Chain A
């Protein structure tokens, strides 16, 4: 009781500097946050209310039951068994796998092409660097969708028919129906090759550790790369011949009006893959260039002064430092490529958006659930790629002491 009476006494010499209620930052913060919660909550409530009323009026059921109903439509390309009697849930898986396939191969191709163009851009040869510049400026400034259309409608549609296919060595054929390449056939005993491959990888891991330790102890450098390459490639090749070559190739053959056998790559996939890789490579090239340029030339000079040869300077000094600058924007390009693969729907490649948010949505009308699932899947892919790349980034980043 007495303390309460004392308190104002202590402050009596100073003016009352307690802010007014609406000027107190803490209370104002609480007020604004409460306001936001109310606004967002209210908006969601109104949206849900309207949506339910609208769905009821149109006679659309809600829920995820439709996933187990038979789909009844065919899909151009599927990596797993699929026929028209399978469920809508299966169409989702087929679409997702197709999206992952085209993005995975696209990322690999775009990275390789992008690194080559990016390094070429820095070449001392005027012609090479100019060509790289022209490539970058052309493909970066034209909409991706237009590039996909160009490859699909203007290039692949202009290819000859099956009878007059373009061919490489009578084993790879290209015509208006797609690209036909030989497929491997695994016969009995081919598992030995796989075992040899695994053994080679494990052995190369130990060789690398031993070489590292030897360099620490004696300072001598062991040609790890070549020995490991020999192990990983050589062991399976030896196993292949010892076991009596159990893997053979099945070549595509023209029978009637079409090719039989081998692997068929549909033109939709080709057009999408080519456009995605070429478009993204232009961006990656610029990232690579800026990464390499960010490493100070003094680093190269210092490495040469220490007596490192050119290749080792690149591998040990320049590239690790450039990678630190390259990786974060490279991650965004991988994400962009994966998201851009959804443009497949414009030319009918059966990716997630085309199959699930396209055909399945049109047949079932369950827009809310399907759009929600589709967006959630892309979000998840984005998160996974960025988590992985962040982990890689952290591993590569500068250790500051």
Chain B
């Protein structure tokens, strides 16, 4: 008798593999799905092709005035010819290097802290928190060390957007942590003060907070003190964001098991020691995605400062659109601003998702 010899297994049916298989299972799995796919595919193509045509193929990229726009597509000349104003506002052109240096240092610090396995993280973070703010202020505002003074009303564009967002979050985070701790405190007066503070700022729109900051803050201080417009906006944004931050921190604190608090008490640690050495490090680790989300919200909200007359990226593009030499290019302008904001916000949200996966370790079984 011949020995049993298994035949090699047949390849999977063509219907389930390759492009055909993918199409069958993902686009044409049922008659209804097929119809929907065809209709949607037609709509998408009929929108996408003219859009690509407008933005790339028929677009004009080079030139100095609107006369260069002859192809009938998007006129990116409007953006390129005003690019430096959109980025730096009315900052003097010879001093651009100061802004660049500040943001390069900031980006380097952040990158150092974000990339794993780099040494001296502790020293970098100490530099970023305690030294960098003064360096940044001296560099950008000037007036010391022979640097020309550039008053804040000449700041604008994307640079101002970044300044407001970074200062806002850096100031709101510690305030938010204090408020969250206060909200969970046993002391009734402190607790109710924090609850009222948080709920009031969370219950009103940011615009009214900015109005309040710009109209009422000057009334609150003696006549002879003048408040910088940017500083007023920053105070308003910080108060507003700290309330949101406090709720994020509270979520993190609530997620710490009670045993951790009890263990800290059992070790005889004082309140501040147990918070700073046991509870907050764990809570902050869990809260990083929430903090990044708050930062994204703040980053988008910076555009509201145009209502109180500060020229952030959106405001400066909006102002450029009313220039009689460049009337009728609002779509190009808005697409540019949208792209700038989108790249930053999307990048941050992807980073927060990455962190969520990376940090999802200790509490996973």
B contact residues around A237 at 8 Å (CB): none
The reply on A265 being an interface residue by CB < 8 A is no
* Cα of A55 to Cα of B215 in the assembled complex, Å: 12
A47 touches B220 (CB 8 A): yes
Q: Are B208 and A375 in contact (CB under 8 A)?
A: yes
* Nearest Cβ on chain A to B307's Cβ, whole angstroms: 6
User: Measured between alpha carbons, how far is A37 from B29 in the docked complex, in Å?
Assistant: 68
| Known A128-B40, A375-B212; contact A141-B203, beta-carbon cutoff 8 A | no
Contacts A353-B207, A353-B208; is A128 near B190 (CB within 8 Å)? no
Say how far B352's CB is from chain A's closest CB, in angstroms: 12
Interface string of A145-170 (1 = CB under 8 A from B): 11001100110010000000000000
Q: Is A343 an interface residue (CB 8 A)?
A: yes
In the complex, A331 Cα to B240 Cα: how many Å? 19
CB distance from A201 to the nearest CB of B (A): 34
- Is there contact, CB below 8 Å, between B193 and A126? no
- Report the separation of the CA atoms of residues A28 and B140 in the bound assembly, to the nearest whole angstrom: 44
One of B4-12, B128-136, B169-177, B329-337 at the interface: B329-337
Among A187-195, A305-313, A366-374, the stretch in contact with B: A366-374
**B45 → chain A closest CB, angstroms:** 11
Complex: A143 Cα to B219 Cα, angstroms: 31
CB contacts (< 8 Å) of B44 on chain A: these are 127, 131
> Which chain B positions have C-beta within 8 A of A383?
203
- Contact status of A378 and B193, CB under 8 A, knowing A51-B220, A127-B37, A141-B345: no
The answer to whether A50 and B222 have CB atoms under 8 Å apart is: yes
Query: What A residues does B190 contact at CB under 8 A?
Result: 32-33, 36
CB-contacts of A33-55 with B (<8 A)? 33, 36-37, 40, 47, 50-51, 53-55
Contact, CB under 8 Å: B37 / A29: no
Q: Name the residue of chain A whose CB is nearest to the CB of B22.
A: A126
Are B204 and A379 in touch, CB under 8 angstroms? yes
Complex interface: chain A residues within 8 A of B63 (CB): none
Convert B195-221 into 0s and 1s, putting 1 for each residue whose CB lies closer than 8 angstroms to a CB of A: 000001011111110011001101111
- The proximity string for A residues 248-260 relative to B, scoring 1 for CB distances below 8 Å and 0 otherwise, is 0000000000000
Interface-central residue, A32, A36, A47, A143, by most chain B CB under 10 Å? A143
Binds A, one of B72-80, B95-103, B297-305: B297-305
Nearest CB in chain A to that of B212: its residue:
A371
Give the interface of B toward A (CB within 8 A). Answer: 26-27, 29, 33, 36-37, 40-41, 44, 186-190, 193, 200, 202-208, 211-212, 215-216, 218-223, 296, 300-301, 303-304, 306-307, 314, 318, 321, 330-331, 334, 337-338, 341-342, 345-346, 349
6 contacts between A and B (CB under 8 A): A124-B29, A127-B40, A154-B331, A342-B207, A343-B207, A367-B216
Instruction: Please give 5 more A-B residue pairs, beta carbons under 8 A apart, in addition to A141-B300, A141-B349, A339-B206.
Output: A29-B186, A37-B189, A51-B220, A143-B314, A375-B200
